[in-house]
Amino acid sequence: MVYKNIVEGIFIKRPNRFVAHVLINGKEEIVHVKNTGRCKELLVPGAKVILEDCLHHKNRKTRYSLIAVWKGHMLVNMDSQVPNDVVFEALKEGKIEGLEDLTMIKREVAFGNSRYDIYFESKNEKGFIEVKGVTLEINGISMFPDAPTERGTRHILELTEAVKEGYKGVVLFLIQMKGPTVFQPNWEMDISFSQAIRFAYDNGVNVLAYDSIVTENSIVLGKQVKIDL
């Protein structure tokens, strides 16, 4: 995934989930934030951020979209729309363990009351992949979610029903940075989601975590990361 027309800025404040105030070329601008999560540990006053200049996009209220932020020496992509693209491209290139030889890949397919990010088929099986973008990191440990997610919990539990019906179920956590060596569910933030992940794993759902190679204008799948449920 490559972004065009990248600019740097300095984060000032975030009055709501959707917009932030950023200093760009000495001028304070209101920009779109491409992540509705809390991201409090990332978006701190004075943080250096990366934005996409969308001047030529029609029907926009803001010119810029905030897509990444420097956390110390680590660049974190926080675009919540990009993980599906990264995983989809990696699947097409056969880069995800256990999903190398797929004959069909399709996005946004419903099962039951849920719509999963990716549906796939191979010669011997078919299944669903739920992709979760991860931006929360503490002391080398990446965690999800950074805010309670009833919808996410429901999707995970319904994925176990798909497995019971003969489908393969996969939850893939894409860590949108390079650095964390372990992934854990965020038990303190959302015990229901964390319990759902453990339940799904115990009932045949494959749980994976991969980090990302992030630059100021790109993000691609990195290496598999250890999971601690």
Are 20 and 33 spatial neighbours (Cβ–Cβ below 8 Å)? Answer: yes
Q: Rounded to the nearest 10 degrees, what angle do helices 191-202 and 150-164 cross at? A: 10
Mean pLDDT computed over 208-217:
98
Summarised one tens digit per residue, pLDDT across range 186-203 is 999 999 999 999 999 999
Fold classification of 82-227 (topology level): Trna Endonuclease; Chain: A, domain 1 (3.40.1350)
Class of the CATH-defined domain 6-77: mainly beta
Summarised one tens digit per residue, pLDDT across range 23-76 is 999 999 999 999 988 899 999 999 999 999 988 777 788 999 999 999 999 999
Are 75 and 177 spatial neighbours (Cβ–Cβ below 8 Å)? Answer: yes
Residue 105's pLDDT is 96
Are 95 and 223 spatial neighbours (Cβ–Cβ below 8 Å)? Answer: no
Each domain of the chain, given as residue ranges in start order, spans: 6-77, 82-227
Residue 180's pLDDT is 97
Q: Which value, in Å, is the radius of gyration of the alpha carbons in the chain? A: 18
Residue 55's pLDDT is 80
Res 91 pLDDT > 80: yes
Residue 113's pLDDT is 83
Res 222 pLDDT > 90: yes
Residue 195's pLDDT is 98
For the chain, give the percent of residues with pLDDT over 90. Answer: 90
Residue 59's pLDDT is 77
Helix (H, G, I), strand (E, B) or coil at 90: helix
Mean pLDDT computed over 126-131:
96
Residue 57's pLDDT is 74
Higher pLDDT, 60 or 79: 79
Residue 103's pLDDT is 95
Query: Cα–Cα distances in Å, from 74 out to 29, 40, 142, 143, 177?
Result: 24, 16, 13, 16, 7
Burial of residue 56 (number of CB atoms within 10 Å: 0-12, 13-18, 19+): exposed
- Render 186-215 in DSSP notation, one character per residue: -TTT-HHHHHHHHHHHHTT-EEEEEEEEEE
Are 36 and 152 spatial neighbours (Cβ–Cβ below 8 Å)? Answer: no
Res 157 pLDDT > 80: yes
Arithmetic mean of pLDDT over the chain: 95
